[in-house]
Chains A and B, each alone.
Chain A
Amino acid sequence: MSELSEDVEEFRKIVHLDLDAFFCAVEELHDPSLREKPFAVGGSPEHRGVVASCSYAARKYGVHSAMSMAKAKQLCPDLINVRHSFGNYTEYSRQVMDILRTYSPLVQPISIDEAFMDLSHLPDSTEKMARQIQAQIHHEVQLPSSLGVASNKLVAKIATNVGKAAHGGDSYPNAVMVVPPGEEAVFLAPLPSDALWGVGPKTAEKLAELGLHTIGDIAAYSFEALEQRFGQTGRYLHQRARGADSSPVRVSHDTKSVSHEVTYSQDTYDENKLRETIGRQAQSISKRLRKLQLYGSTVKLKLRWPDFTTFTRQSTLNEPTDQADDIERMALELLRKHWKRGRKVRLLGVGVSGLGPPSKQLNLWDWDPADFARTEKLETTLEQLKTRYGAKAVQRASKLERA
């Protein structure tokens, strides 16, 4: 019996979704004249802007995201520089995530344009569901997307990338790539080692020194040798190279912190400007906390100097809060303590952590026993009325429907 039960091991149905050139796709919706033109979304080259996303037409010139806008202009002189319109992006992203949540409660957004979902509970073929999700997003939000389907998050995400790359070219890929259960290792084997999670340029280099260039090479290599060379990472490498990943899709209300930061277009030591930034950031954090229905108890201030060294300090509030004033006051206090007048700042960020459900310490002096007694009496009476005459016998006037 036990052998049999091992054979019928259940496979998870994990889908990874990536909105194709998300920022560009949104800009095209607003300005159809951009269609098929080389353009990049991001800050202007004069203000040290960085490419956040670029159209497939621009990619042909070698432009890619995270490149400086100035460099992108060099590569593609006709490049149109489209400025961020951030409000729109979050709204579109939210609409997409809402569509995903109609399929499964297990949706884990990992960025504004990417998410994992677990569809294990649904009987349908995962490929069919993936195509349906893609069609629905296209129909309702008019955005292109690519999806990867596999038995775990690692392989699903790589499948998305492979699907997109296979499409090649100069238009939105709209790819769906499925890796059937059991074929994970075979699927990964020919891919370069840096396609794997946790393999950056440095690790890839070290792997190459061992003669390991593809994921298949790593999978075939001795576990002990990998562990000896890379320690804990070696163990993960070995597992992942075989397509094994048991990490669950996390429903992400377990937000650990909410933060906001800005890189100044020019380094600044203008105290008013720094204080203004903190005020704005506190506002936006507060707004986000209220939306998440969370209170935070620790405020963090992050400063980056012109030489790119980063400095962070944090302090705990007397009471958790979601109020912009409290966050701003603490952040300004940290600025006052740790920033010397005249020192130039490149980046300024404020964050709040120690998040928890809203709570408030009640105040002793606000406590009115007489008022409490009256409320208690009222509630007891209401209960009695409801017990005697039914639940709808007494209602708040605001809840009564107009006759």
Chain B
Amino acid sequence: MKVSVLQENLAHGLSVVSRAVSARSTYPILANVLVSAEDGRLRLSATDRELGITSWIGAKVEEAGATTVPARTFTDLVSTLPSDTIDMELVVRTQTLQLSAGRSTAEIKGIDAQEFPPMPEPDGDGGIELPVDDLKEMIRQVVFAASRDDARPVLTGVLITVEGSTMTMAAADGFRLSVRTYELSAPVEEAIRAIVPSRALNELARVVGDGKEKVRMVLPPGRGQVVFTLKDVEVRCQLVEGSFPEYQQIIPAGHKTRTILATDAFLKGAKQAEIFARESSHIARLNITPGEGKEPGTMVVSAQSDETGSNEAKVDATVEGDAVLIAFNVRYLREVLEVVNGANVALETSAAAAPGVVRPMDDDRFLHVIMPMHLGK
């Protein structure tokens, strides 16, 4: 292998794959990054067997070939080299990667690329395509609701389903559910149903960049994997095994009160309440009162802590239905209000002990269900 790359491209490529490096594995090869020169590009790959990330950077390839080198050594070295061309050459017999850039030279001891876990490219057909920006937004609106508790592994992932041309992402811990749908430009022939680890989606959102470039999602048959591919990046991971709960059943069919208010005002109220609620029981109380005559309806968001004090934020609202007093974990409230799109949001409630539903106005692609907190015994 003999190849030349720009220092900044190499540094970027290494940062993309870095999160999949398994520094503390019992397999030394997993602490390495695969460096492979092919077809005018340099491929960098890292995997911890669950998550795998590949980045391709532009390169002048004089001789194809591949090796693996310790990710930490390679990354640290590259970050200190001058922003100029780096020439790399592999001494096959000793698996030593020789680097030279400006007046610096280095040799890094590697391990044969044959030892690296295979990351076969998915077959050409099947799968779906959507713009990067749309995929990132879906991830952002759903992934935070996934559980962080390993007690029920299926809930630590995000359920992705595709039926016809409708793609849905759903995540739920024990207390809230976030669901986002998306219309694909073309229907799929075969329905898709898979639970993707939250971590993989977070990494995907981190490395894909921005824009209209299309990302392709493929589930190669029989491998229990999902592969997301872009022009220069590929993220793949093992799916979570098991069956995701039938979440449609817990989405309330109706409501008694619908409260419509400005999203940012609601969010500010929740953030203020969190200052006090975080000290004790995380409770934010919502006191919702319908308007009377010319007086608008209101939602009062309040919290109190024996130690630090209390607060109340009053937000004007259009209230359809009865007055409501309901309490939520303030963090759950804040987190959904941070990701919901649109200037106005609706909160639908039925009773103090029944779930509340948050929806953006005039947009049925997103909905979020939160279980309230029960006050008193």
Interface string of B122-148 (1 = CB under 8 A from A): 000000000000000000000000000
Contact B281 A356 (CB under 8 A): yes
Contact B252 A369 (CB under 8 A): yes
| C-alpha gap A356/B354 in the complex (Å) | 22
B329 closest partner in A (C-beta):
A361
Task: Indicate whether A254 reaches chain B with its CB closer than 8 angstroms.
Answer: yes
Contact B375 A358 (CB under 8 A): yes
Contacts of A372 in B (CB 8 A): 350-351, 354
Contact A359 B375 (CB under 8 A): yes
Given contacts A293-B377, A363-B371, A364-B174, contact A356 B305 (CB under 8 A): yes
Contact B353 A364 (CB under 8 A): no
Contact B306 A361 (CB under 8 A): no
Interface string of A345-373 (1 = CB under 8 A from B): 00000000111111111111101010010
Task: Indicate whether B194 reaches chain A with its CB closer than 8 angstroms.
Answer: no
Contact B175 A361 (CB under 8 A): yes
Contact B175 A363 (CB under 8 A): yes
B160-185 residues with Cβ-Cβ distance < 8 A to A are 172-177
Picked from B172, B355, B369, B374, the residue with its CB within 8 Å of the CB of A360 is: B374
Contact B283 A359 (CB under 8 A): yes
Contact B172 A354 (CB under 8 A): no
Picked from A359, A367, A376, the residue with its CB within 8 Å of the CB of B371 is: A367
Contact A365 B329 (CB under 8 A): no
Contact A369 B249 (CB under 8 A): yes
Contacts of B374 in A (CB 8 A): 359-362
Task: Indicate whether A320 reaches chain B with its CB closer than 8 angstroms.
Answer: yes
Task: Indicate whether A295 reaches chain B with its CB closer than 8 angstroms.
Answer: yes
B233-273 residues with Cβ-Cβ distance < 8 A to A are 245, 249-250, 252-253
Contact A364 B354 (CB under 8 A): no
Contacts of A353 in B (CB 8 A): 307
Contact A364 B306 (CB under 8 A): no
Given contacts A365-B174, A369-B250, contact A358 B279 (CB under 8 A): no
Most interface-central of B281, B282, B371 (chain A CB within 10 A): B281
Shortest CB-to-CB span from A251 to chain B, Å, is: 14
| C-alpha gap A369/B172 in the complex (Å) | 17
Contacts of A293 in B (CB 8 A): 377
Number of interface residues of A (CB under 8 A): 23
Task: Indicate whether A338 reaches chain B with its CB closer than 8 angstroms.
Answer: no
Contacts of A254 in B (CB 8 A): 306
Most interface-central of B249, B306, B327, B373 (chain A CB within 10 A): B306
Task: Indicate whether B280 reaches chain A with its CB closer than 8 angstroms.
Answer: yes
Contacts of B372 in A (CB 8 A): 362
Task: Indicate whether A297 reaches chain B with its CB closer than 8 angstroms.
Answer: yes
Contacts of A336 in B (CB 8 A): none
B325-342 residues with Cβ-Cβ distance < 8 A to A are 327, 329
| C-alpha gap A358/B377 in the complex (Å) | 6
| C-alpha gap A361/B332 in the complex (Å) | 11
Contacts of B177 in A (CB 8 A): 364
A320 closest partner in B (C-beta):
B281
| C-alpha gap A367/B305 in the complex (Å) | 29
| C-alpha gap A320/B371 in the complex (Å) | 16
Given contacts A320-B281, A353-B307, A367-B355, contact A359 B327 (CB under 8 A): yes
Task: Indicate whether A256 reaches chain B with its CB closer than 8 angstroms.
Answer: yes
Contacts of B175 in A (CB 8 A): 361-364
| C-alpha gap A369/B174 in the complex (Å) | 16
Number of interface residues of B (CB under 8 A): 35
Given contacts A354-B279, A355-B306, A369-B252, contact A364 B376 (CB under 8 A): no
Given contacts A256-B306, A256-B307, contact A365 B250 (CB under 8 A): yes
Contacts of B176 in A (CB 8 A): 364
Most interface-central of A353, A354, A355, A365 (chain B CB within 10 A): A365
| C-alpha gap A354/B306 in the complex (Å) | 7
Contacts of A358 in B (CB 8 A): 375-377
Contact B253 A356 (CB under 8 A): no
| C-alpha gap A362/B371 in the complex (Å) | 6
Contacts of A376 in B (CB 8 A): 350-351
Contact A356 B280 (CB under 8 A): yes
Interface string of B335-361 (1 = CB under 8 A from A): 000000000000000110111000000
Shortest CB-to-CB span from A316 to chain B, Å, is: 9
| C-alpha gap A102/B84 in the complex (Å) | 87
Contact A361 B371 (CB under 8 A): yes
Given contacts A359-B327, A364-B355, A369-B249, contact A354 B281 (CB under 8 A): yes
Contact A362 B249 (CB under 8 A): no
Shortest CB-to-CB span from A255 to chain B, Å, is: 8
Interface string of A306-340 (1 = CB under 8 A from B): 00000000000000100000000000000000000
| C-alpha gap A226/B231 in the complex (Å) | 77
Contacts of B307 in A (CB 8 A): 256, 353-354
| C-alpha gap A357/B305 in the complex (Å) | 10
B370 closest partner in A (C-beta):
A364
Contacts of A363 in B (CB 8 A): 174-175, 371
A291-305 residues with Cβ-Cβ distance < 8 A to B are 293, 295, 297
Contact B250 A320 (CB under 8 A): no
Contacts of B371 in A (CB 8 A): 361-364, 367
Contacts of A360 in B (CB 8 A): 373-374
B165-209 residues with Cβ-Cβ distance < 8 A to A are 172-177
| C-alpha gap A354/B351 in the complex (Å) | 27
B85-143 residues with Cβ-Cβ distance < 8 A to A are none
Shortest CB-to-CB span from B307 to chain A, Å, is: 7
Shortest CB-to-CB span from A94 to chain B, Å, is: 22
B294-338 residues with Cβ-Cβ distance < 8 A to A are 304-307, 327, 329
Shortest CB-to-CB span from B321 to chain A, Å, is: 14
Shortest CB-to-CB span from B176 to chain A, Å, is: 7
Given contacts A297-B280, A353-B307, A354-B307, contact A365 B245 (CB under 8 A): yes
Contacts of B327 in A (CB 8 A): 359
Shortest CB-to-CB span from A250 to chain B, Å, is: 12
Contact B376 A320 (CB under 8 A): no
Shortest CB-to-CB span from A360 to chain B, Å, is: 5
Contact A361 B375 (CB under 8 A): no
Contacts of B250 in A (CB 8 A): 364-365, 367, 369
Given contacts A254-B306, A256-B307, A365-B174, contact A359 B281 (CB under 8 A): yes
Interface residues, chain A, CB within 8 Å of chain B? Answer: 254, 256, 293, 295, 297, 320, 353-365, 367, 369, 372, 376
- 19 of the cross-chain contacts (CB-CB < 8 Å) are A297-B282, A353-B307, A354-B305, A355-B306, A356-B304, A356-B305, A357-B281, A360-B374, A361-B329, A363-B175, A364-B172, A364-B173, A364-B174, A364-B371, A365-B245, A367-B250, A367-B354, A367-B371, A376-B351
Known: A361-B371, A364-B172. 10 other contacts (CB 8 A): A256-B307, A297-B280, A356-B280, A356-B281, A356-B306, A359-B373, A361-B374, A363-B175, A364-B175, A376-B350
Give me the 8 closest cross-chain CB pairs, A-B, nearest first.
A362-B371, A356-B280, A320-B281, A356-B281, A354-B280, A360-B374, A359-B373, A363-B174
